[in-house]
Amino acid sequence: MTTIDLHRLTGAYALHALSDEENASFERHLVDCASCAQETSELSATAARLGLAVATTPASASREQVLRRITTVRQETPGTSARTLPVRAGLKARLLSRWALAACLAAAAALGGTTVWQHQQAADARDQARQVSRTSDEIAAVLAAPDARTRAAGLAGGATGTVVVSHSRDRAVFVVSGMARPPGGKVYQLWFDDGGTMRSAGLMDPDRSDQAVLMRGGVDRASGMGITVEPDGGSKQPTSTPIALMAFPG
């Protein structure tokens, strides 16, 4: 493995996505590479912050739903061999496989037993892993940006919200903790405040009280953000008084 290759493994090392051999090689490299050591430290801190922000407890109905679905899925024919990736497959492919594996292991642990994953479930996990990976990469890039600025505020019901803005990346991330569940048939919608005109920035997950949301669209010249309660699926324009308004950090 070349030195150039090692320089590119900071993110994978921070996410514990390297093989034992790669991990050992990279740790030897860190001893003599101050820039990689610093980047690895920053990425590890970012990963920890993301983990705290988006951690959630599995729904109580998950076990029953998965066990019921198992009975309707035909098992793979015995003896069928799985296609394996080349030994020197790219880092991105290896990371994707580990994302999917991590999702499977987490689900099995939450269910308190072993679950047989069939082809369709694996495909669903891979698709979800790709989307999660892309969004997580964008969120991490905003949080780790050199010009990232943050502002925190208390929200209704004891919740806390923090907005992180990077003008160099033209993106913003909203991190919330302790958010109450919206009323039935409703969802929290985020908005950019463009000089008094509200521009939709996406929806929050109504089932999660703690989450990190990559706000949809560029920051542009927005001076702040707002949160409203909207009908399920969101609205083109706010239909209710904002439950929170936050100015962006200078």
CATH of the domain at 39: 1.10.10
What's the pLDDT at 194?
94
Please give the average per-residue pLDDT across 33-59, as a whole number.
66
DSSP per position, 54-94: H--PPPTTHHHHHHHHHTTSPPPPTTPPPP---TT--HHHH
Q: If you average pLDDT over each of 95-104, 121-130, 143-152, which comes out highest?
A: 143-152
Query: Is 195 within a domain?
Result: yes
pLDDT at residue 84 in the model: 45
Q: What's the whole-model pTM score?
A: 0.53
Backbone angles phi, psi at 231, to 5 degrees: -60, 150
Angle between helices 20-32 and 34-54 (to 10 degrees): 130
Which range among 63-72, 153-162, 240-249 shows the weakest confidence by mean pLDDT? 63-72
Share of the chain above pLDDT 70, in %: 62
Mean pLDDT value across residues 204-226: 92
- State residue 12 phi and psi, 5-degree precision: -65, -40
Q: Is residue 111 part of a domain?
A: no
Beta bridge partners of 218: none
Query: Does residue 118 form part of some domain?
Result: no
pLDDT, average across residues 148-157: 88
What is the pLDDT at residue 216?
94
Q: Which of 119-123, 153-157, 195-199 has the lowest mean pLDDT?
A: 119-123
Domain's final residue, options 55, 76, 93 = 55
What is the tally of structural domains in the chain?
Answer: 2
Last residue of a domain, one of 26, 55, 84: 55
Query: Which of 45-54, 132-141, 160-169 has the weakest average pLDDT?
Result: 45-54
The residue-averaged pLDDT of 190-206 equals 95
**Is residue 233 a contact partner of residue 204, using CB atoms and an 8 Å limit?**
no
Q: Which domain holds residue 47?
A: 1-55
Amino acid 157: pLDDT: 85
Confidence (pLDDT) at 113: 46
Assigned domain for 63 exists: no
Please write the tens of the pLDDT for every residue from 49-103: 566 555 555 566 666 676 666 666 555 555 544 444 444 444 544 444 454 545 5
Specify if 60 maps to a domain: no
Q: Answer whether residue 157 is part of any domain.
A: yes
Residue 24 banded pLDDT, cuts 50, 70, 90: confident
pLDDT of residue 198: 95
Q: Which of 38, 55, 72 is the last residue in one of the domains?
A: 55
Q: Are 192 and 220 a contacting pair, CB within 8 Å? A: yes
Which region, left, alpha or beta, applies to residue 134 given φ > 0 means left and ψ of -120 to 50 means alpha?
A: alpha
Answer whether residue 113 is part of any domain. Answer: no
Average pLDDT over residues 29-54: 71
| Over residues 120-145, mean pLDDT | 70
Q: Which residue in 198, 196, 197 sits closest to 228, CA to CA?
A: 198
Identify whether 204 is part of a domain.
Answer: yes
Overall average pLDDT of the 121-138 stretch: 64
